[in-house]
Structure 1
Amino acid sequence: MKRIFFFGDNLHGGGAELFTVELIKALKKDGYDIKFFLLNAENIRLDVEDVDIVDLSIQFNNSVLRVKGKSLNREKIEFLKSLEIKYRPDILIFIAPMSYWLERFFLTKNKYFWIHGDFFDFNIKNRVKFLNILNVLNILNEYRKIFLEKKGARILFLNKKIIVVNKDLFSFFLKSKLTQSVTFIRNGLPDIKFCKSFTPSIKKFDAVYVGRLEKDKRVELAIKFFSESKLTGCLAIVGDGSELYNLKALVQSLKLEKRVVFFGWLYNPQQIIAQSKILLLTSKYETFGLVVTEAHILGLSVVAFNSSSGVSEQFLTVESRIGLVEQDDFTGFVSALNLVYDLPYFIPIKLLKTYTMSRVLIDFKKNIAN
């Protein structure tokens, strides 16, 4: 029986965190000995029954790829080393960005970074909107940040083993020539979700957004597109985050108070998703966005920006791709929303089973824990 250490940042309820918890449960059921170490185990909002969690009480500062703010005192380093000596793990998997900085303190040879997000934007044009002489200081500052982030990426990933969740990241790491190996494993949902779809006869909401209410998710676009579309019903917003106040102000300015409902973060958002007709995904970049498949299982059509290969590959039929919109084509998104509202599509469950946890386990045991 192999012993595996997982390392994460927290369990506040994000998609990657939910996937990790479900994967750990599946691995334990399959006979693996798993321990899950968190930098911060406060405010756990997921079902972690039977998951062996250890709170490391570690806080790293600064952005993910900046070396500054990632040091530990001697006492904490010795504690980490004692864990390795005590439990003698066969595999170490660092599953969340800040936890990557713990890897250097362990001697176990079989170590992996599982990349669930894209924080490798080294293109100056993506980081500075206006490249002109008046913006020269901002441009120089961004060049400086890019230099430091590239340095951090080399320190973290040079000659290391990487697991990625979409083909874009797979290509990025292959071309970078940084890593020792790159393995592609799609995310997956618990198998029980595929037993049958739950589609209530009454659809309370024309559209739904599910996810963090943060700037990179661009939830304000979901609200604006909804207001500009032909949809006359209500929009449900499930999630919380720093943009909540701004989003509520936007709803008020558009006079949509009676048509937009904020549910906050929900442990089980499936009930709200199932009572909706269309899922909206407006992120600037979504590494995988497994909520797309979850919506498809529940009988919804999805309208999403084509923000990564992880998102696009979940539109499994020709009919469904009417809901896949080129990135930042705002007019196209509204048009697709109107079209999907008139011509909803359906993806058979048998096609969606590409994204089961059983398939994740097969790939994991074949490539990682063989």
Structure 2
Amino acid sequence: MKVLHILPNLQIGGIQRFVLDIVSYQKEVPDVSVAIFICTHEKAQWEKAFNHLEVPIYWGNIKPKRINFVQYRYFRNIQKQYDIVHWHVFIPGLCYFSFFDKGKYIFTHHSVLGEGRVRHRTDCIKWNLFKWFINHRVDCEVYNSLYTKSFWQSYGLHARFNCLIYNGAKFIEPPFDQSEVTEQEKFTLEDKFIIGTTCNLIRLKRVDILIKAFSIWCRNKTNVCLLIVGEGGERKNLEQLAKDLKIEEKVLFVGHKKQVSYYQKIMDVCVFPSTTETFGLAALECLHKGKPTICLNDGGGICEVIGDKRNIVDSIDNMVRRFDELYQEKETTGTCDSITYIKQSNLFRMGDKALEYIDLYKRIYLLE
């Protein structure tokens, strides 16, 4: 059986990371041949990592808002060689040009209708085309969380078949490069109870809620620090918020870091207050490090990843209360219930998810 994964590009992102990891397992499965079609070569930051997979990679020159019949025919000739076409992106022209091909189509939902980004006038047309594509051409749509399933079904999407397969992670620790950690960071974080997050600093992530909760909780505490790892358009606003709340000396913004794993390891509590997350890979990585990981109850799929109801809060006040419980636990016992968090993370091992997809491919391939 031959499987072709479709990616928009090789920018650093969650979808690209998912395909990179799942293909690394699928290529080892007997009687399964895996390849990747990448719609554009622009900003291919992960090209080297994907080349290390040693699977066929096809490069296109296809852009979402430009019609290119030469490229569509090029893609169509490639996809005809494969039994299963696994879509991870919707590009209208590309999808519809291949509408009459006989290959089996699987589409994995990695997002929820562009939530969190600026809306454009053409979005209504695009999403109606997407609905038509899913309902009339896709053989099976895959949801990466119950939240994602509920969202898309409420918009009337119903492919011939559908199923739930959660995303996963490989849990491989990268080599540690100490040079990325500055002396100032080491000094500020030394002997502190650290509450932190690792995310893009955009409105969707709602880091302002975390800062407000921390500002209430940290009163009269000297050995605590809020560590924020990430970069984005909201950084200046968040830094100003910390100043306005007079806690700037207890909040450390370290910007974008390649060694995110190191910073997650030194956190005592990890917090992801974002909304409408379809999954929550960063939260999953923190759980695997044995860290208590907190989210808000309107976080979407991230609530399913975290699982522990104690760590799914519904307000700033309850977030503050949970901070205090975990702080007291650490002060009293010197540790936290890390085994429980690691067990939860093991439900989402990428090797298991890769095999779930292989089973799905086989079932869809046999459909008449």
Which TM bucket (shorter chain)?
0.7 to 0.9
| Percent identical residues | 21
Q: Which runs of 5+ in 2 are unaligned?
A: 174-189, 330-335, 364-368
Q: 1:180 aligns with which of 160, 172, 175?
A: 160
CA contact (8 A) 1:203 1:276 kept: no
The Cα offsets for residues 162-189 of structure 1, whole Å up to 9 and x where unpaired, read as 1111113334455635321111101111
CA contact (8 A) 1:10 1:41 kept: yes
Alignment match, 2:111? 117
CA 1:101/1:251 → structure 2, altered by over 3 Å: closer, same or farther? farther
Structure 2: how far apart are the matches of 1:100 and 1:265? Answer: 33
Aligned-residue CA RMSD in angstroms?
3.2
Structure 2: how far apart are the matches of 1:174 and 1:356? Answer: 26
Alignment match, 1:105? 97
What is the DSSP-based 3-state SS (H/G/I as helix, E as strand, rest coil) of the residue aligned with 2:142?
strand
Which residue identity lines up with residue 104 of structure 2 in the other structure?
Answer: N
**TM-score under structure 2 normalisation?**
0.76
Q: Does 1:33 align with 2:33?
A: yes
Alignment match, 1:93? 86
Which residue identity lines up with residue 8 of structure 1 in the other structure?
Answer: L
**TM-score under structure 1 normalisation?**
0.76
Structure 1: how far apart are the matches of 2:191 and 2:291? Answer: 10
Alignment match, 2:320? 334
CA contact (8 A) 2:311 2:322 kept: yes
What is the DSSP-based 3-state SS (H/G/I as helix, E as strand, rest coil) of the residue aligned with 2:268?
strand
Structure 2: how far apart are the matches of 1:189 and 1:21? Answer: 11
Alignment match, 1:135? none
Q: 1:206 aligns with which of 194, 199, 204?
A: 194
Which residue identity lines up with residue 103 of structure 1 in the other structure?
Answer: C
Alignment match, 2:234? 243
Structure 2: how far apart are the matches of 1:348 and 1:243? Answer: 30
Structure 2: how far apart are the matches of 1:181 and 1:291? Answer: 30
What is the DSSP-based 3-state SS (H/G/I as helix, E as strand, rest coil) of the residue aligned with 1:59?
coil
Matches within 5 A, 1:303-322: 303-307=294-298, 310-316=301-307, 320-322=308-310
Which residue identity lines up with residue 179 of structure 1 in the other structure?
Answer: A
CA contact (8 A) 1:312 1:324 kept: yes
The Cα offsets for residues 191-229 of structure 1, whole Å up to 9 and x where unpaired, read as 656xxxxxxxx7766112112222211222222222222
CA 1:99/1:242 → structure 2, altered by over 3 Å: closer, same or farther? farther
CA contact (8 A) 2:92 2:129 kept: no
Alignment match, 1:23? 22
Structure 2: how far apart are the matches of 1:259 and 1:218? Answer: 19
Which residue identity lines up with residue 39 of structure 1 in the other structure?
Answer: C
CA contact (8 A) 1:10 1:42 kept: yes
Q: Does 1:59 align with 2:63?
A: yes
Q: Give the superposition deviation at 1:150.
A: 5.6
Q: Which runs of 5+ in 1 are unaligned?
A: 61-68, 128-140, 194-201
Alignment match, 2:10? 11
Structure 1: how far apart are the matches of 2:126 and 2:79? Answer: 29
Structure 1: how far apart are the matches of 2:123 and 2:36? Answer: 32
Q: Give the superposition deviation at 1:45.
A: 4.4
CA contact (8 A) 1:209 1:237 kept: yes
